[in-house]
Chains A and B, each alone.
Chain A
């Protein structure tokens, strides 16, 4: 990071024809050995590398990415950032993440465009209000923000939701997290990459791990498409494909299934919606926000069957479109521009893993379900803390692989051990 970004630098470079910008990150040749090798150049891996350097001063850190950094779910999500998780552990973790988000642009000297426009969960029955009140009350009592909007307040703030008398599910109110919002997903990737690189992290792209050599209960070395790389410690942060690396490391099953989640964006429009709006009713889940470019960015449930394909099928496209018009009837004429899918590590209780593993020098960051993007700053923070200190931080002490055997289930939805139900 030779130059600091600011309006001044933009102005100066504008005058000099944009000729003097540096590379945002280097393109180093991989060294043969590192103190910590992070596999996975997504947001979690990059953030981990950044905090390993920044907080713990680890000297030699590499991030290995099989393709281009941020090419997985970091670049294909619906960019929502919120912390409205209720359960102990999750609550503190996501709150910490939200607080990191709030200053991330300054921390990274990169505009990640975190827009705290508020996240509004529209509720369709008195019972839903009570259920969500429990969560939002917990937010309030644990130092976060949460509000309840009655119908009149909701109408004033978002006038074009479906308040019609013939709506299939009438709206009763909403719970709101004002500090939640959206961020520019690619910017977060590049911001962490640039900042990590500036601290000396080697970001190695097009470097696929093709084999793992074990030395008893340790990882001895990684075979990669760019040669053999060893690390005193190895860390996996490859959500969506965790099981492949796990098998490669000679380990057995994991409490994870890979499912695909579709995402959608409309043509760009002038401002139409100023909040993130979500609802879940009648077997449909839906969330929508408008990007700064004007596209309506939205999504819904998983495709309901296990898949590693990054493309969706029509039934869920229809389902999401139905939800869109049910919530915001004006979206009927808005045109879908693009839809795609990402592969999610769906865990057995809907919560993540940041933990040690059966191998003494291997650390795991996985099982992000739908929560990966918003989690990434804290994920990097706590994962770095775990790797550097070789013990879990108190906040994430239950987010390990053994929690199921203990019976410590972190299931926000109460859906049980069925990964497809944890959307």
Chain B
């Protein structure tokens, strides 16, 4: 069972979260070229090992998180909020 230490909620169980996808994708501007969009939407490095990925605290604070996780061992190394502004708002 994966446990994620949500920056807002603390350590929470697997079943509260929803996996998003590859967190390293740089999303192009809405009017960027088709090839940029094809790359962003379809191409994945598919790392076997540590990778950045997005998780959504669906049944919790509903924040999207950036999680550095090992895809082979499921070990989680880093968890942070995807939205950098949230950190500034919290005191």
Direct interface between A and B, CB < 8 A: yes
B84 within 8 A of A: no
* Contact indicator per residue, chain B 52-74, by CB within 8 Å of chain A (1) or not (0): 01010000000000000001111
* Contact indicator per residue, chain A 254-292, by CB within 8 Å of chain B (1) or not (0): 111110000000000000000000000000000000000
Interface size of A by Cβ–Cβ distance < 8 Å? 27
User: How far apart are the CA atoms of A241 and B43 in the complex, in Å?
Assistant: 15
A126 within 8 A of B: no
Residue in B15, B41, B46, B72 with the greatest tally of chain A CB atoms within 10 Å: B46
User: How far apart are the CA atoms of A252 and B46 in the complex, in Å?
Assistant: 10
- The answer, among A247, A253, A256, A257, for a CB contact under 8 Å with B39, is A253
- The answer, among A243, A255, A305, A314, for a CB contact under 8 Å with B42, is A255
User: How far apart are the CA atoms of A254 and B2 in the complex, in Å?
Assistant: 26
Q: Is the beta-carbon distance between B42 and A307 smaller than 8 angstroms? A: no
A-side contacts of B14, CB under 8 Å: 313, 315
Q: Is the beta-carbon distance between B38 and A306 smaller than 8 angstroms? A: no
Given contacts A243-B44, A253-B43, A254-B43, contact A315 B1 (CB under 8 A): yes
Looking across the interface, which residue of chain A has its beta carbon closest to that of B25?
A253
B78 within 8 A of A: no
- The answer, among A253, A305, A315, A417, for a CB contact under 8 Å with B46, is A253
Residue in B2, B18, B44 with the greatest tally of chain A CB atoms within 10 Å: B44
Interface residues on B, range: 20 to 34
Q: Is the beta-carbon distance between B43 and A252 smaller than 8 angstroms? A: yes
User: How far apart are the CA atoms of A244 and B55 in the complex, in Å?
Assistant: 24
Looking across the interface, which residue of chain A has its beta carbon closest to that of B74?
A309
Q: Which of B3-35 contact A (CB under 8 A)?
A: 14-15, 18-19, 21-22, 34-35
B-side contacts of A244, CB under 8 Å: 48
User: How far apart are the CA atoms of A110 and B46 in the complex, in Å?
Assistant: 37
- The answer, among A252, A254, A308, A419, for a CB contact under 8 Å with B48, is A308
Q: Is the beta-carbon distance between A417 and B41 smaller than 8 angstroms? A: yes
Given contacts A253-B46, A348-B42, contact A258 B19 (CB under 8 A): no
A408 within 8 A of B: no
Interface class of chain B by DSSP: mixed
B-side contacts of A305, CB under 8 Å: 2, 19, 53, 55
Q: Is the beta-carbon distance between A243 and B48 smaller than 8 angstroms? A: yes
Q: Is the beta-carbon distance between A404 and B42 smaller than 8 angstroms? A: yes
- The answer, among B1, B19, B43, for a CB contact under 8 Å with A255, is B43
A-side contacts of B22, CB under 8 Å: 257, 306
B-side contacts of A256, CB under 8 Å: 44, 46
Q: Is the beta-carbon distance between A420 and B2 smaller than 8 angstroms? A: no
B-side contacts of A405, CB under 8 Å: 34-35, 38
A418 within 8 A of B: yes
B-side contacts of A314, CB under 8 Å: 1
User: How far apart are the CA atoms of A258 and B47 in the complex, in Å?
Assistant: 9
Given contacts A404-B38, A404-B42, A405-B38, contact A315 B48 (CB under 8 A): no
B-side contacts of A5, CB under 8 Å: none
Given contacts A308-B72, A418-B21, contact A257 B44 (CB under 8 A): yes
A21 within 8 A of B: no
User: How far apart are the CA atoms of A417 and B55 in the complex, in Å?
Assistant: 17
Looking across the interface, which residue of chain B has its beta carbon closest to that of A252?
B43
A307 CB → nearest B CB, Å:
6
A-side contacts of B47, CB under 8 Å: 243
List 19 interface pairs A-B (beta carbons < 8 Å), by A numbering: A243-B44, A243-B46, A254-B44, A256-B46, A257-B21, A257-B22, A258-B46, A304-B18, A305-B19, A306-B22, A306-B53, A306-B71, A307-B71, A348-B41, A404-B38, A404-B42, A405-B35, A417-B41, A420-B19
In the complex, besides A243-B44, A247-B45, A253-B46, 20 extra interface pairs with C-beta distance below 8 angstroms are: A243-B48, A244-B48, A253-B44, A254-B46, A256-B46, A257-B22, A258-B46, A258-B48, A258-B71, A305-B19, A305-B53, A306-B46, A308-B72, A313-B14, A404-B38, A404-B41, A405-B34, A417-B41, A419-B44, A420-B21
**Which residues does B use to contact A, with CB under 8 Å?**
1-2, 14-15, 18-19, 21-22, 34-35, 38-39, 41-48, 51, 53, 55, 71-74
**Which residues does A use to contact B, with CB under 8 Å?**
241, 243-244, 247, 252-258, 304-309, 313-315, 348, 404-405, 417-420
Which 9 pairs between the two chains have the least Cβ-Cβ distance?
A253-B43, A243-B46, A305-B19, A404-B42, A255-B42, A308-B72, A348-B42, A308-B48, A405-B38
